[in-house]
Chains A and B, each alone.
Chain A
Amino acid sequence: DIVMTQSPTSLAVSLGERVTINCKSSQSVLYSSNNKDYLAWYQQKPGQPPKLLIYWASTRESGVPDRISGSGSGTDFTLTISSLQAEDVAVYYCQQFHTDITFGQGTRLEIK
Chain B
Amino acid sequence: EVQLVESGGGLVQPGGSLSVSCAASGFTFKNYWMSWVRQAPGKGLEWVAITKQDDSEKRYPESVRGRFTISRDNAKNSLYLHMRSLRAEDTAIYFCARVGESGSWHLDYWGQGALVTVSS
Most chain A CB within 10 A, of B105, B108, B109, is at B105
A-chain residues with CB within 8 Å of residue B107 when the two chains form the complex: 40, 42, 50, 52, 95
Q: Are B44 and A106 in contact (CB under 8 A)?
A: yes
Q: Is B88 an interface residue (CB 8 A)?
A: no
CA distance A60 to B22 in the complex (A): 27
**A100–B61 Cα gap in the complex (Å)?**
8
In contact, B112 and A55 (Cβ under 8 angstroms)? no
Give 24 A-B contacts (CB < 8 Å), ordered by A residue.
A38-B105, A40-B104, A40-B107, A49-B110, A49-B112, A49-B113, A50-B95, A50-B107, A50-B110, A52-B100, A52-B109, A55-B100, A93-B45, A95-B45, A95-B106, A95-B107, A100-B47, A100-B59, A101-B47, A101-B105, A102-B61, A103-B45, A104-B44, A106-B44
Chain A proximity of B68: nearest CB distance (Å): 14
Q: Does B50 contact A (CB under 8 A)?
A: yes
CA distance A75 to B111 in the complex (A): 30
Interface of B is mostly: strand
Q: How far is the CB of A15 from chain B (nearest CB, A)?
A: 26
One of A44, A61, A93, A106 near B108 (C-beta < 8 A): A61
A97 to B47, CA, bound (A): 11
Q: Is the CB of A40 within 8 A of B46?
A: no
- Once A38-B104, A38-B105, A106-B44 are accepted as A-B contacts, the answer to whether A101 and B110 lie under 8 Å apart by CB is no
What is the size category of the interface that chain A forms with chain B?
Answer: 20 to 34
Q: How distant is the Cα of A79 from the Cα of B25 in the complex, in angstroms?
A: 31
Contact B45 A40 (CB under 8 A): no
Q: In the complex, what's the smallest C-beta–C-beta distance from B58 to chain A, in angstroms?
A: 11
Q: Does B35 contact A (CB under 8 A)?
A: yes
Q: How far is the CA of A8 from the CA of B104 in the complex (A)?
A: 27
Q: Chain B residues near A50 (CB, 8 Å)?
A: 37, 45, 95, 107, 110
Instruction: Determine whether the beta carbon of B46 is less than 8 Å from that of A103.
Output: yes
Residues of B within 8 A of A95 (CB): 45, 106-107
Please, which residues of chain A bring their CB within 8 A of the CB of B104?
38, 40, 55-56, 97
Scoring B residues 14 to 49 as 1 if CB is less than 8 Å from chain A, else 0, what string do you get?
Answer: 000000000000000000000101000000111100
